[in-house]
Amino acid sequence: MKTMTPTRRRPKARPPVAVLVLATLGGALFAVPLVAMLIRTPWRSAWSIVTEPELRTALRLSLVCSLSATAISFVLGVPLAWVQARLDFPGRALLRAITTLPVVLPPVVGGLALLLAVGRNGILGRYLFDWFGVRLPFSTAGAIVAETFVSMPFLVLSVEGALLGADGRFEEAAATLGASRWTIFTRVTLPALRPALIAACVLCWARALGEFGATITFAGNFPGTTQTVPLSVYQAFETNPPAAIVLSLLLVAVSLVILVTLRHRLVVRT
Amino acid sequence: MSVIGHWQERLGEGTIVKVCRWTTSIVLALVALTILTPTPGVAKAKAKESTTKPRSTIGAKTSTTTTNNNTALRATTSAAPVTTTTSPSLTGSINVSAAASLTASFTDIASAFEKANLKASVTLNFAGSSTLVTQIQNGAPADVFASADIANMDKLRAVKLVIGTPATFARNRPMIVVRRGNPLQVETLADLGKPEVFVALGAPGVPVGDYARQILAKAGIEVKPKTLEPSVSAIVNKVALREIDAGIVYVTDVAIDEYRVDGVAIPDDQNVIATYPIAALSNTKNNVTAAGFVSFVQSPAAQAILAKYKFLPPK
């Protein structure tokens, strides 16, 4: 954990009043809803709500899905990030744009695209079903695919950033010493990136945990198989608002812990 | 390597970026054009309006409010029921939140209402009734609410958001919706219990889901749905996409989408008929037009539209 905090040598600026006022308004936009949620949380019944069997099911499912999505993202995303960072090939900008698309795309659109691709009648999905009997939509596997689709770009982006900033000379040295390309990748490149990889995985996991749009579109909404915590918040908002607030607060807490822990990694450094 | 280098020279990243940039600007320009060009219907309505009064926005606004007050006075002084189809006095805009199953019929009814009341305009908001109730409870600007069941209307009545007693304006028959051609040969409610049939029902609180659960419970059939959807439209769309094999929606939904899905009738003795109440909401700033729309929905003109879409008359 050396030199994680950026050195602060900036002179203490006296801010213009207008900037201060606007910044306060900007900050309030995020802070006030959070405070409102804390005020409106039914603290007395909070524990009984969280331990309700239905919500426990949603929590367990969310954990399983988000962790699986993170694992898949790691296995597929790190090589993708390496290709994007280290290989020079035509269309690299296009590839980068495509792999980053889910970051800005409405997740519902992602879910729809997934249905058209690997849905039961999707261009690939129909063969998955005919040949292997695999049906992704409306299954837990489908929820994992949806979460992977939405969260992997976050991992790819951060790993690619780390790779671009990494010192390539160690790899060159390893190559001159006769290491194979695979050995260099697994023994030199990846270990050097470990802090970045951990941060990328946690970020990816947090995004997967909060995934809603793609999941409800592609995987549907059923308790126990595809109803993750965000989906159950959405449904509880109509049937059991106190439960919705408690669950939301839980998601907020988890995300906040992650963001505070990763603060130094997430700040854009020049 | 040389091949790649060659291609990069011919068609480098610069070119791709340029193409993307051009495409983006063209798409943005097209989007802007589409947004800025008024739709023909609106333009016509505006043109009609302009023949009756000068088209200055501020002037138009004030005149609207004054006429609005006049109508309010007239409505209170004359106790005689206003026949809305002929009354030209309804003005201003109202928001109507209506159950998703009313999408097609209420779109027609709203334009008929606007034709009968040239100075009034209706903005429609369709979603599952339970979603609409949540929106309205949290301050969504709605003047009229049309629900697909009594339970959701009662949720708003309980918090005093409804003016007066809701009126039942239609009924609807639940029906099994299946993929076009019914490849899995779903013929009865019992077929929905088969494990190979992917079933979608409405989520708890969504009227069509609650009706479906009543129907299935009455028939003693256990169904394990693959997904619980927030509205009838969501169920029909998933069946139309062929990702779900069957669901329970209304006769009216299957009638609208007859080119995308098929329907299987539920026998009357097993069925539960859906009741649709409508009411003006107490948050409305346009009482008169809201009430006018509510009575228009019960008028013969609107009832004919509802019948065309296969709704049952309100008893």
pLDDT band at B73 (very low <50, low <70, confident <90, very high): very low
- B113-165, pLDDT tens digit by residue? 999 998 999 999 999 999 999 999 888 899 999 999 999 999 999 999 999 99
Q: How many CA atoms lie within 13 A of A181 on its CB side?
A: 3
- CA-based nearest distance B273→chain A, Å: 23
Nearest CA in chain B to A122: B243
Report the C-alpha gap between A60 and A68 in whole angstroms: 12
Across the strands, what pairs with B278? B146, B167
Structure tokens of B40?
């023909």
Q: Between these two residues, B3 and B221, which has the higher pLDDT value?
A: B221
Q: What is the pLDDT of residue B70?
A: 40
Tell me the angle at which helices A241-261 and A229-239 cross, rounded to the nearest 10 degrees: 150
Cα–Cα distance list, A171 to A155, A166, A227, A260, B274 (Å): 22, 10, 45, 33, 70
Residues of chain A contacting B, Cβ within 8 Å: 88-94, 97, 115, 119-121, 137-138, 219-223, 225-227, 235, 237-239
pLDDT band at B41 (very low <50, low <70, confident <90, very high): very low
- Residues B172 and B250: beta-carbon distance below 8 Å: yes
Burial B239-262 (b: 16+ CB within 10 A, else e): bbbbbbbbbbbbbbbbebbeebbb
pLDDT band at A130 (very low <50, low <70, confident <90, very high): confident
- CA-based nearest distance A73→chain B, Å: 26
Percent of chain B with pLDDT over 70: 78
Asked if residue B28 has pLDDT above 90, the reply is no
- A221 and B7 in contact by Cβ < 8 A? no
Report the C-alpha gap between A188 and A167 in whole angstroms: 11
Residues in A closer than 8 angstroms to B4, CB to CB, are 88-90
Report the C-alpha gap between B244 and B240 in whole angstroms: 8
Q: Between these two residues, A92 and B33, which has the higher pLDDT value?
A: A92
Residues in A closer than 8 angstroms to B229, CB to CB, are 220-221
Closest Cβ opposite residue B243 in set A88, A93, A121: A121
Q: What is the pLDDT of residue B266?
A: 95
Residue A12 burial (CB count, 10 A): 6
B6 and A CB contact within 8 Å: no
Report the C-alpha gap between B172 and A246 in whole angstroms: 37
Report the C-alpha gap between A215 and A114 in whole angstroms: 10
Q: Between these two residues, B70 and B161, which has the higher pLDDT value?
A: B161
Q: What is the pLDDT of residue B44?
A: 40
Q: How far, in whole angstroms, is CA A263 from its chain's centroid?
A: 15
Q: What is the pLDDT of residue A7?
A: 54
Closest Cβ opposite residue B226 in set A115, A121, A222: A222
Closest Cβ opposite residue A238 in set B7, B11, B205: B205
- A149-184, pLDDT tens digit by residue? 999 999 999 999 999 988 888 888 999 998 898 999
- B246-261, pLDDT tens digit by residue? 999 999 999 999 899 9
Taking the CA atoms of A146, A148, A151 and A153 in sequence, report the sign of the dihedral they define.
Answer: negative
- CA-based nearest distance B2→chain A, Å: 11
Three-state DSSP class for residue A257? helix
Closest Cβ opposite residue A220 in set B7, B204, B226: B226
Residues in B closer than 8 angstroms to A138, CB to CB, are 198, 226-227, 243-244
Asked if residue B220 has pLDDT above 90, the reply is yes
> Which ipTM did the prediction report?
0.73
Q: Pick the residue of A221, A238, A239 with the most B CBs within 10 A to test the interface with B by mutation.
A: A238
pLDDT band at B111 (very low <50, low <70, confident <90, very high): very high
Residues in A closer than 8 angstroms to B204, CB to CB, are 235, 239
Asked if residue B57 has pLDDT above 70, the reply is no
Q: Which of A130-134, A231-235, B97-101 has the lowest mean pLDDT?
A: A130-134
Q: What is the pTM of this model?
A: 0.73
Three-state DSSP class for residue A6? coil
Closest Cβ opposite residue A120 in set B16, B230, B243: B243
Asked if residue A133 has pLDDT above 90, the reply is no
- A84-119, pLDDT tens digit by residue? 998 988 989 999 999 999 999 999 999 999 989 998
What are φ and ψ of residue B140, in 5° steps? -60, 140
Report the C-alpha gap between B277 and B168 in whole angstroms: 4
Nearest CA in chain B to A220: B227
- Residues B273 and B171: beta-carbon distance below 8 Å: yes
Burial A79-95 (b: 16+ CB within 10 A, else e): ebbbbbbeeeebebbee
- B243 and A137 in contact by Cβ < 8 A? yes
pLDDT band at A265 (very low <50, low <70, confident <90, very high): low
Q: What is the pLDDT of residue B58?
A: 39
SS (HEC) of chain B: CHHHHHHHHHCCHHHHHHHHHHHHHHHHHHHHHHHHCCCHHHHHHHHHHHHHCCCCHHHHHHHHHHHHHHHHHHHHHCCCCCCCCCCCCCCEEEEEEEEHHHHHHHHHHHHHHHHHCCCEEEEEEEECHHHHHHHHHCCCCCCEEECCCHHHHHHHHHCCCECCCCEEEEEECEEEEEECCCCCCCCCHHHHHCCCCCEEEECCCCHHHHHHHHHHHHHCCCCCCCEEECCHHHHHHHHHCCCCCEEEEEHHHHHHCCCCEEEEECCCCCCCCEEEEEEEECCCCCHHHHHHHHHHHCCHHHHHHHHHCCCECCC
Nearest CA in chain A to B12: A90
- B248-295, pLDDT tens digit by residue? 999 999 999 989 999 999 999 999 999 999 999 998 989 999 999 999
Cα–Cα distance list, B28 to A55, B125, B237 (Å): 43, 27, 29
Q: What is the pLDDT of residue B262?
A: 95
Nearest CA in chain B to A93: B13
Three-state DSSP class for residue A203? helix
Structure tokens of B110?
């709203």
Percent of chain A with pLDDT over 90: 46
Residues in A closer than 8 angstroms to B198, CB to CB, are 138
Question: Average pLDDT, whole number, for chain A?
Answer: 87
Closest Cβ opposite residue B227 in set A119, A222, A238: A222
Asked if residue A270 has pLDDT above 70, the reply is no
Asked if residue A55 has pLDDT above 60, the reply is yes
Residue A21 burial (CB count, 10 A): 11
- A188-216, pLDDT tens digit by residue? 999 989 889 999 999 999 999 999 999 99
Closest Cβ opposite residue B13 in set A93, A226, A238: A93
Across the strands, what pairs with B175? B249, B265
Mean pLDDT of B67-83: 39
Report the C-alpha gap between B281 and B157 in whole angstroms: 9
- CA-based nearest distance B183→chain A, Å: 14
Phi-psi region of B123 (alpha: psi -120 to 50; beta: other; left: phi over 0): beta
Q: Which of A7-21, A180-194, B71-85 has the lowest mean pLDDT?
A: B71-85
- Residues B130 and B153: beta-carbon distance below 8 Å: no
The single residue listed with the structure tokens 């619980």 is B228
